[in-house]
Amino acid sequence: MPKLEKYHPILTPNYTFDWLTKTKVKDLFTLLQQTQPSSKATTLSIADETNQTMRDIFHDKKLIWGITDRKSNQFIGQAGFDPLDLTNQTGTLTVTLLPDYQQLTVLTEIYDRLVSFAGHELGLTTLTTVQSQPNPALIKLLTKLNFKEITDNTFTLKF
């Protein structure tokens, strides 16, 4: 069984996935404000949640990274597997990006890398993703990656 703390940084041609603790709390706060405007989170609660996430990573319960653009070094979002059950080889893929980065080219690069990582590195047999809002381009991408639609917003991939 892999030890999750060794999986950082992860690189794609355009993005770096690294621990949330390398991300400024104000950037995580901005992400939350822009993607969940009704959230009552504070910078203190986000810092606490980030610390809890890191504890969960070191206990092999989830694997979440902050994502930065490699050219500009700008934070663009977070992604990973939450929850993650290595014993049963299942996980839920989560991707949350700032609105300016919710483009098909960005989504394709991130989803391609994480789906491959889930199967090859983590040895998952089932990967699920839940979409908070319908996104036809993302649904098309998930279909291309062999995800099957289970409900209107839930997709599952069997490796």
pLDDT tens-digit map of 81-116: 999 999 999 999 999 999 999 999 999 999 999 999
Question: Which domain does 21 fall in, by range?
Answer: 4-158
How far apart, in Å, are the Cα atoms of 110 and each of 57, 94, 114, 153? 20, 11, 6, 19
Classified as helix, coil or strand, 66 is strand
- Report whether pLDDT(139) > 60: yes
Provide mean pLDDT across the span 77-81: 98
For residue 113, give the CATH number of its domain: 3.40.630.30
- Rounded Cα gap, residues 67 and 17, in angstroms: 5
pLDDT tens-digit map of 54-64: 999 999 999 99
Most distant CA pair in the chain, distance: 40
Helix (H) or strand (E) holding 85: strand 75-85
pLDDT (0 to 100) of residue 133 = 82
Q: Which pTM does this prediction carry?
A: 0.94
| Total count of domains within the chain | 1
Confidence category of residue 135, pLDDT binned at 50, 70, 90: confident
- Report whether pLDDT(132) > 80: yes
pLDDT (0 to 100) of residue 2 = 64
Provide mean pLDDT across the span 67-87: 97
Tokens representing 5 are: 């703390």
Rg (CA), the chain: 15
